[in-house]
Structure 1
Amino acid sequence: MSARFEEVAWSQTPRGTISLRRRLEPTLNVDVYEVKLGDEFLMSSLFTVAEAELARLGLAQAQGDELDVVVGGLGLGCTALTALEDPRVRSMVVVDAMAEVIEWHERELLPGATGLVHDERTRLVLGDFFAMAASEAGFDPDAPGRRFDAVLLDIDHTPKHLLHPDHAPFYSVDGLRRLKSHLNPGGVFALWSDDPPDEEFNALLAETFDSSEAHVVTFANFLTGGESSNTVYVAH
């Protein structure tokens, strides 16, 4: 049996101390991996249903038999790993702003990391997703201006609860139009959110894209004994 608690890795960053922790969840008798930035919990391997659905719902709307995909936010790797399950994905650029998170995966400190970092379709790119989205160069440093078939984003908690104020311009018509310019015709943008559907953000998507939907993803929450939910927005 594993130790009840272990701080697997930690680093001091300009945004505070980021740490990767593993603990034994006694209720389920499973290892849980958690990421904290300062005192704030960013993610947990206990609840990853919606992160996986972000990839499934987004790619379900993507057109073509050979898809080039961007994942914004590496985290624990759930969205990226799920995207690789789609046989149409021929390439995937995963952008993360923290070198430490990329290093965790490259050192294979996380479950599933081997399948992610050793898949020839995957490139882990250190960069600011939001700055890249706003630029003309886009998401592939080796091919400026390259377009993609799908962009799957899971960085901020919600379109209004941001990890950093610098992200705010992205959640506007202008910011979304810049993102759209990096998509192929018929391309898809999908976004994870911790909150119920936001009508204001729905309106921004409707103004920018040809069609959009907000999917409520429910999952069992053993902590409460009931259900919890997240939202996945898909714009086409």
Structure 2
Amino acid sequence: MSARFEELAWSQTPRGTISLRRRLEPTLKVDVYEVKLDDEFLMSSLFTVAEIELARLGLAQAPGTELDVVVGGLGLGYTARAALEDPRVRSMVVVDAMAEVIDWHERELLPGAAELVQDPRTRLVLDDFFAVAASDGGFDPDSPGRRFDAVLLDIDHTPRHVLHPSHATFYSVDGLRRLKGHLRPGGVFALWSDDPPDDDFNALLTQVFEHSETQIVTFANFLTGGESTNTVYVAH
């Protein structure tokens, strides 16, 4: 059994102190990996069902047998690893703005990090997802203008509750149209949200994409003794 608590890494960043820690969850008797930015919890390995379903639900609607995929937000790696489970994925660019998060994976401090970073289909790119989404060059710095079959995004808490004010313009008709320009015909955009379905945001998606739907992902929550939900938007 591991120690009850261990801080694996921390660093001072322009946005605050980011830290990776591992703790023993006594109720479940499992190790939980958590990321904090100052006093705010950014991510946890305790509940990962929806992060995995983001990849599965998004790629399920991606056409073709050889898919080039973008994952926005590396986090603890659950969405990226789930995407690699789809045998149609031939390449995956994972964009994260935090050098520390990429470093944790490259140093294999997280469970499953080795299989992710050592997969030849994976490429980790240090950049601001929202800035490159708004740019003409797009997500692949070595191939400006390259288009993709799917973009899977899990960075902000919700389209309304963003981690940084600069992200807000992405969740607009103009921002979504710029993203669409980086997709191949029939390409998919999928987004994780911590809130219930937002009809106003779904209406924005339908102004840009031919089809949009929301999927409610339900999972057991031992903290409440019941169930919790996240939302996955899928547009193509």
Equivalent position of 1:50 in the other structure:
50
Corresponding residue SS for 2:157? coil
Deviation at 1:6, TM superposition (A): 0.3
Normalized against structure 2, the TM-score is what?
1.00
Structure 2 CA distance, aligned partners of 1:3 and 1:10? 18
Corresponding residue SS for 1:218? strand
Structure 2 CA distance, aligned partners of 1:184 and 1:38? 39
Q: 4+ runs of 1 displaced by more than 4 Å? A: none
Corresponding residue SS for 2:102? helix
Q: Percent identity?
A: 85
Equivalent position of 2:74 in the other structure:
74
Equivalent position of 1:119 in the other structure:
119
User: What letter is aligned with 1:46?
Assistant: L
Corresponding residue SS for 1:157? coil
Per-residue CA distance 1:151-170 (angstroms, 9 max, x = gap): 00000000000000000110
Structure 1 CA distance, aligned partners of 2:84 and 2:21? 25
2:157 matched to 1:157?
Answer: yes
Number of equivalent positions: 236
Corresponding residue SS for 1:63? coil
Deviation at 1:99, TM superposition (A): 0.3
User: What letter is aligned with 1:113?
Assistant: A
- Which runs of 5 or more structure 1 residues have no equivalent in the other structure? none
Deviation at 1:28, TM superposition (A): 0.6
Structure 2 CA distance, aligned partners of 1:80 and 1:2? 26
CA RMSD across the alignment: 0.3
Equivalent position of 2:185 in the other structure:
185
2:108 matched to 1:100?
Answer: no
Equivalent position of 1:25 in the other structure:
25
Equivalent position of 2:226 in the other structure:
226
Equivalent position of 1:9 in the other structure:
9
User: What letter is aligned with 1:183?
Assistant: L
Per-residue CA distance 1:10-57 (angstroms, 9 max, x = gap): 000000000001000010100000000010000100000000000000
Deviation at 1:129, TM superposition (A): 0.2
Normalized against structure 1, the TM-score is what?
1.00
Corresponding residue SS for 1:200? helix
Structure 2 CA distance, aligned partners of 1:142 and 1:118? 20
Equivalent position of 1:172 in the other structure:
172
Structure 1 CA distance, aligned partners of 2:66 and 2:100? 31
Equivalent position of 1:194 in the other structure:
194
- Which runs of 5 or more structure 2 residues have no equivalent in the other structure? none
Structure 1 CA distance, aligned partners of 2:106 and 2:123? 11
2:200 matched to 1:209?
Answer: no
Structure 2 CA distance, aligned partners of 1:144 and 1:181? 12
Equivalent position of 2:130 in the other structure:
130
Structure 1 CA distance, aligned partners of 2:77 and 2:8? 16
Corresponding residue SS for 1:197? coil
Structure 1 CA distance, aligned partners of 2:61 and 2:38? 37
